[in-house]
Amino acid sequence: MKARIEHTGDPNVNLDLVSKRHASFKASIGPVNDAMSKLDKLVNIDAERPLDSVTRAVFNEIDEKLFGIRIELPKAIFVIGGTGAGKGT
């Protein structure tokens, strides 16, 4: 976190301030997590994966929560067609 703070370029941002904000966030988010969990609206997604995997998981959870469906997206899509069919566009 310290390295990210140093690269912000904002002289008003420092480790102490960010630590206090983070502690405040952690204290405030507990009741929200509890309420959303009781409503079955809380979703935890492991973001320590490749971006496309996280994106796929986010879209799957949105589809499931909003529409009650889960669509597993393919890892590869094959586009076939004759010359001039628009495969590259």
Q: What is the pTM of this model?
A: 0.50
Which has more confidence, 10 or 45? 45
| 63, 70 Cβ separation under 8 angstroms | yes
The H-or-E segment that residue 72 falls in is none
Average pLDDT over residues 43-66: 86
Residue 86: alpha-carbon gap to chain centroid: 32
Q: Nearest-CA neighbor of 72 among 49, 48, 53?
A: 53
What Cα–Cα distance (Å) separates residue 56 from each residue in 37, 64, 68, 77? 22, 12, 16, 14
| 57, 44 Cβ separation under 8 angstroms | no
Query: Does the structure show a pLDDT above 70 at 56?
Result: yes
